[in-house]
């Protein structure tokens, strides 16, 4: 059984561990104590109306259903009691769906009592700690915890065990144009790319750069450099176009290349100044070139 992550924070732990939030009376069975698990029929467990996750991949659900058939449900789901014959899911919807897919009649459940705000907070925090959750889903969960559960950034940081700066970085993603959020959600770009795109001042420039990132498979470092150039064009060095060589010098450059058996470059500016570049690949080639120059 997976151990409960300490990162869930004192607020959620207080809900889960308090005797006030557990059903442990004869309404369920004679010997239930705080933290006990009851097997409950899937037919009397209704969905959580606050479930923040809407997309469940069919293939992974089928894999989990197969695992449940073979091994059972290792980690119980969490429900709250609404009446003697009715429970409402707090967290664990993926496991519940897979159990139904596997035609499992009963599932092991932690039974809690929680008000709607506590339910939402518990579901959102569990959702944040899921594996393979995309950055936009995490950002939306953070935003909902702040807005719907009245959490400050500091309290949210305590609840989820993340630094405030990390939470802020996720929340900033929600300020991006929808097209970029969709690209991030669909794994066409990474969070690193998205964080770089945030720094572009205008939405149309963000979208233009997004298209280039996807088409060229640009790295995060490349995007960061492009963003710097977009935001501070005055800091970029002007590329000086070399003057075309007059015909006599062009011919001389060719002759030198043939003589030294290497691509000689002759550069000349408007004032008549310039240089001749003779590349070499090894010390032996250098010695050979020096002897030719001396001859």
Residue 278 lies in a domain: no
Spatial distance between the Cα atoms of 164 and 80, rounded to a whole number of angstroms: 31
Q: Is 159 part of any domain? A: no
Distances (CA, A) of 68 to 75, 102, 104, 154, 230: 11, 7, 8, 39, 53
Active site residues: 93
* DSSP letters spanning 41-55: EGGGEEPPTT-----
Q: Please give the Cα distance from 112 to 161 (Å, whole number).
A: 23
Give CA–CA dist 108/71, Å, rounded. 13
Please determine, for residue 65, whether its predicted confidence score (pLDDT) is greater than 60. yes
- In this structure, the number of other CB atoms found within 10 A of the CB of residue 159 comes to 23
Same structural domain for residues 195 and 222?
A: yes
Q: What is the domain extent for residue 262?
A: 240-270
What's the angle, vertex CA 17, arms to CA 13 and CA 23, rounded to 5? Answer: 135
- Which of 115, 61, 65 lies closest to 90, judged by CA? 115
> 169-185: per-residue pLDDT in tens?
999 998 898 889 889 98
Three-class SS state of 124: helix
pLDDT in tens, 36-57: 578 899 999 988 776 666 566 7
The answer to the question of residue 169 being in a domain is no
Q: Are residues 18 and 67 in the same domain?
A: yes
Other CB atoms closer than 10 Å to residue 162's CB: what's the count?
Answer: 18
Count of Cβ atoms closer than 10 Å to residue 211 Cβ: 11
Q: Check pLDDT > 90 for residue 189.
A: yes
Res 58: pLDDT:
74
Examine residue 282 and state whether it is found in any structural domain, yes or no.
no
Q: How many domains does the chain have?
A: 3
């Amino acid at each position: 059984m997976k151990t409960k992550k300490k990162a869930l924070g004192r607020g959620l732990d207080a809900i889960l561990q308090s005797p006030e939030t557990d059903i442990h009376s004869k309404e369920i069975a004679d010997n239930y104590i705080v933290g006990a698990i009851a097997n409950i029929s899937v037919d009397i467990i209704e969905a959580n109306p606050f479930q923040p996750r809407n997309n469940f991949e069919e293939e992974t659900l089928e894999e989990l259903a197969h695992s449940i058939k073979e091994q059972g449900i290792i980690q119980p789901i969490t429900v709250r009691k609404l009446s003697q014959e009715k429970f409402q899911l707090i967290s664990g919807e993926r496991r519940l769906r897979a159990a139904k897919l596997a035609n499992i009649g009963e599932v092991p459940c932690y039974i809690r009592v929680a008000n709607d705000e506590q339910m939402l907070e518990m579901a959102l925090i569990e959702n944040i700690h899921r594996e393979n959750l995309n950055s936009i889903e995490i950002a939306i969960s953070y935003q909902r915890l702040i807005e719907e559960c009245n959490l400050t950034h500091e309290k949210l940081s305590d609840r989820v065990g993340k630094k405030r700066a990390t939470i802020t970085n996720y929340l900033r993603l929600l300020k991006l144009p929808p097209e970029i959020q969709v690209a991030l959600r669909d794994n066409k770009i990474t969070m690193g790319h998205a964080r770089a795109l945030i720094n572009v001042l205008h939405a149309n420039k963000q979208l233009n750069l997004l298209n280039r990132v996807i088409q060229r498979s640009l790295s995060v470092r490349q995007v960061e450099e492009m963003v710097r150039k977009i935001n501070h064009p005055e800091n970029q060095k002007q590329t000086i176009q070399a003057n075309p060589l007059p015909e006599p010098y062009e011919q001389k450059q060719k002759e030198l290349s043939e003589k030294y058996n290497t691509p000689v470059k002759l550069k000349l500016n408007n004032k008549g100044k310039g240089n001749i570049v003779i590349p070499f690949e090894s010390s032996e080639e250098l010695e050979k070139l020096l002897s030719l120059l001396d001859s």
